[in-house]
Structure 1
Amino acid sequence: MREAILRLVKKRFSNLILMPSEQIGEDRLLLEFGVDSMIASEFRAWFWSVFRVDVSFLDIMSA
């Protein structure tokens, strides 16, 4: 289950930043991919709509 969720999250994130999901490593910070406030907001809204999990905006934007 964990691996399926991780694949889904990586796929959505890769679509947001326009980068192949194979280039997204789990050990890198989101900020390293150039995440700005608009991308973070979109990613946060997606998390809520798909998983009903409220991810803090600061968690996405912070190191």
Structure 2
Amino acid sequence: MNPHHWQSQIEDIADRASKDSGTSYDEYIRLFTQYFDRAFKRRPSMAVRIACDFGYSPELARKEDISK
């Protein structure tokens, strides 16, 4: 896949997280991270860099993986 496709996909994920989280920024970050991790199981480094611009938190993803 190319970075332009990832950008579009990540923007869609951000929109979904924004709608689903209501007005809570913490919930937006949690949902965005969860949705991103589901969509990008292999997490290419370029996709992670793009996602960080939208609030992706790699540390949060690791904490949630540990608690499962």
Instruction: Tell me if both proteins adopt one fold, taking TM over 0.5 as the criterion.
Output: no
- Indicate the structure whose relative CO is greater, using CA pairs within 8 Å and at least 6 residues apart: 2
TM-score (normalizing by structure 1)? 0.36
> TM-score w.r.t. structure 2 length?
0.34
